[in-house]
Chain A
Amino acid sequence: MTAPAASAAPAPTSGLATLRRLILYVLLFALVVISASGLQGLLERLFRTASTLVSGDVAGLALSLAFTLIGGPLALLLWWFVWRRLDDESERRAPGWGLYLTGMYTVSLIISTTSLLNLATSFIDSHESQWPSPLANGIVWSAIWWWHRWMWKHPRKPSSHLEDVRAVVGSVFGLLLGAGAAIAALGSLLDVAIRGSAAAATFEPWWFPVLRSVVWAAGGAVVWWWHWFREGGRRFQTGLVDVTIIAVGIFVAGITALGGLGVILFVLLRLAFDRIDPLNDLLEPLAPAIAAAAIGTLVWRYHRMASVSRSTRTRRASLLVTSAVALAAAASGVGVVVNALLAAAVSPLAGGATRTLLLGGLSSLVVGAPVWWLAWKPRHQPRTAEDIPPGRRVYLVAFFGVSAVVALITLLVIGYRLFEFLLGDVTGGSLLDRVRAPLGLLVAAGLVAGYHFALWRHDRKLLAAAAPTHKRIIERVTLVSGYPPGSVDPEALARGIADATGGAKVTTWLRADDGGTGLPPSAALAPGVEEAVRQVAAALEGVTAHQVLVVAGPEDRLEVIPLAAAGGAPVLGGPVPGRVLRP
């Protein structure tokens, strides 16, 4: 048997090299930030000279000069030193360089984007434009961004380590900036359309804030497009991109869209049934809510489609997260409805507001429930163990757990109020009024927990019915593989045995005697991995021992030996080491 070469012993200097890189890159990061700040200060001063009448800020100028003239050359020197070392492939693959590049790329991207957009919007203002500071910042940090992008994509020294992180960070920043500004722009525009420009008493035309938000949104969209399409953020098949799609594109966008829809319905219901407030106040939240619902739905829909074209796991996770957000909305709606019901049962001294509360709960319920129904499909739940997708049990347990925690907290609050009522001089009405909110949450959490617990038990029954009884009896399998190298991969065989026994712990040993290795690979008539797994699984059928020794190969040799403790002592997982090469 050809023993695999022992993994290369770590170089004695690797710890030292890591420390050197850590110090070097932290120092470089600090020096780049210091010189950028100095240069920005000097440039800003230069731009202001035309409009400055009296200049007396010696301290500020001295600081900028020191930062530029000391930090700048040192930063360049250190960078030259680092850049020369980066000819070495191992240096470029070191985590330190990837982290530095990602960190500085992110910082420079965020500062340069916000400064340039600030510069653009500073001209859309009725006051005098404050352009020197954002212009200086934008020039300096854009140059740094370009410089780091050049190093990232350098034809001779490309840095592929953490490449997906840079693309993802850029696209998430662009997406959040673009979507947030788009909501603000659409919201202000709709607000003017719904309530009229008189609602906003300002000294500038109504379209100034809208235009400013449009500029920010366009900037965010460009940054997102650049990183998502040009830099290929969407093409990376890494877990980070999947998680980003789910967390930002599905979760955050889903909450925004559902929240917006809920508020729209709430305002409409209030207009119909609860017009105690002036119309202007009633309509105030309508425009931002419509904008949030529209932009949130757009972002959610795009990422939902993006997740469909990725792995099955991502698609399923996006559906589960959508269902979770919708269920949270519906359940909190039920809680608020109960809260309003109890509030109506109490006769307050003054005021009421129960109708507003009820309409709020209803709108949340009416928006959340249909989305949950469509995403979760409660009528099409798994009927067999094969239909149960992975991830579903985690979802069920998570919802059951979260609602249990909510129930515990609300019970404590209710208990505290109840004892306060029993021990002190407190009216019964006030007790009910003060426990109505936790009681509503308790009812909602109870309904959610009950439903998910029932589903979880149902799934468990299905799985138990599908699993043969012996599967959980075997706890440890010691596999001695005698197949010649290249025919049956022992690791794959071990995984197959673990699956076939319902998760037994498999310890793999390779035969080191002539029985396994003497034959040349071409002469061996060993079965394939699937065939070997099938044979072992068939041989394990009906074995009732906790520990089993399996001697498989060479050729069609297969021996399954149930083991028992000798003299009351438990049998250890592995055989006594004898003439074996390695575990």
Chain B
Amino acid sequence: MDDTAAKERTARRPDRILLTLVGVVVLLVVVALAVVFTRGEPAPLDEASPAGVVQRYSKAVVDGDTNTAQSYLTEGAKSRCRGTYSGEPAPARVVLISTTERTDSATVRVSIVRSSQGGPFGPSEYEMEDSFSLLKVNGQWKIDQPPYPLMACTVVPVKQ
């Protein structure tokens, strides 16, 4: 009798584990759906700080607004500009890693996530790190050297 009960218990154990695992997966999916779909726009940073300038510039680049992006560049950066980065996969997400602020210059390190639709099981993401070099021009932070995937400007023809 005891033997049968023990066997029954052993047989039912994986069922309990299975139910727990299914529960965990369902919970993860529900929480992820709730969080992702209620998430608003990224919180804006202070425009007077280097990170705030990088944020506005990056947002304009991701949205494809080259004119706005260009307004955050120094004159030197505009003259060195070689057009807008159009490689694939396009940058989809920019996250701040660190800010180093000096008197007249600053370096903002960011992580750039580029995503493509390829891959057998869902989209693929590629993450890379790079940094912005900023200069203080007339009391305002301007970007002197953006990372190449976030390069955006209109090429001005050289005057003869």
Contact = CB atoms under 8 A, between A and B. Distances in A.
26 contacts: A258-B120, A258-B121, A266-B117, A284-B117, A328-B121, A332-B121, A332-B122, A337-B32, A338-B28, A340-B36, A341-B31, A349-B42, A350-B62, A350-B93, A351-B58, A356-B115, A357-B115, A361-B32, A369-B25, A383-B7, A425-B100, A427-B98, A437-B125, A454-B14, A458-B13, A458-B14
Interface stretch (B15-23, B70-78, B79-87, B139-147): B15-23
Given A262-B120, A369-B25, A433-B111, 11 more contacts: A262-B122, A285-B117, A336-B122, A348-B96, A351-B92, A357-B125, A364-B121, A430-B111, A437-B125, A447-B21, A451-B18
B18 A351 contact: no
A329 interface: yes
Interface string A170-193: 000000000000000000000000
Contacts of B24: 447
Interface string A435-450: 0010000010001001
Interface string B119-149: 0111101010000000000000000000000
B62 to A, nearest CB: 4
Nearest to A381: B14
**Sorted from nearest, which 6 A-B pairs have the closest CB atoms?**
A360-B122, A259-B120, A350-B58, A350-B59, A353-B92, A341-B32
Interface string A418-436: 0000001111011001100
Contacts of A450: 17, 21
B35 interface: yes
A350 B14 contact: no
B108 to A, nearest CB: 9
Contact of B113 (A353, A364, A429): A353
B94 interface: yes
Contacts of B120: 255, 258-259, 262, 329
Contacts of A349: 42, 45, 51, 54-55, 58-59, 94-96, 110
A454 B11 CA distance: 11
A341 B35 contact: yes
A235 interface: no
A385 to B, nearest CB: 11
Contact of B93 (A338, A345, A353, A364): A353
Identify whether the interface residues of A are mostly helix, strand, loop, or mixed: helix
A354 B31 CA distance: 14
B15 A379 contact: yes
A345 B127 CA distance: 17
A341 B36 contact: yes
A347 B123 CA distance: 21
A358 interface: yes
A265 to B, nearest CB: 10
B102 interface: no
B140 to A, nearest CB: 18
Interface string A128-142: 000000000000000
Contacts of B18: 378-379, 451
B47 to A, nearest CB: 13
A362 interface: yes
Contacts of B1: none
A337 B35 CA distance: 11
A360 B122 CA distance: 4
Contacts of B121: 258-259, 262, 328-329, 332-333, 336, 364, 368
A441 B41 CA distance: 27
A27 B121 CA distance: 47
B29 interface: yes
A351 B57 CA distance: 11
A455 interface: yes
Interface residues on A, range: 35 or more
Nearest to B37: A355
Contacts of B14: 378, 381, 454-455, 458
A451 B95 contact: no
B10 interface: yes
A383 B11 contact: yes
A524 interface: no
A343 B111 CA distance: 13
A429 B35 CA distance: 16
A285 B100 CA distance: 42
Contacts of B7: 383, 465
Contact of B95 (A334, A360, A424, A433): A433
B25 A344 contact: no
B59 A344 contact: no
A365 interface: yes
A461 B93 CA distance: 50
Contact of A365 (B15, B29, B91, B92): B29
Contacts of B91: 351
Interface centre among B15, B29, B55 (most CB of A within 10 A): B29
B33 interface: yes
Given A333-B122, A337-B29, A358-B33, A429 B94 contact: no
A346 interface: yes
Contacts of B43: 347
A377 to B, nearest CB: 11
A348 B92 CA distance: 10
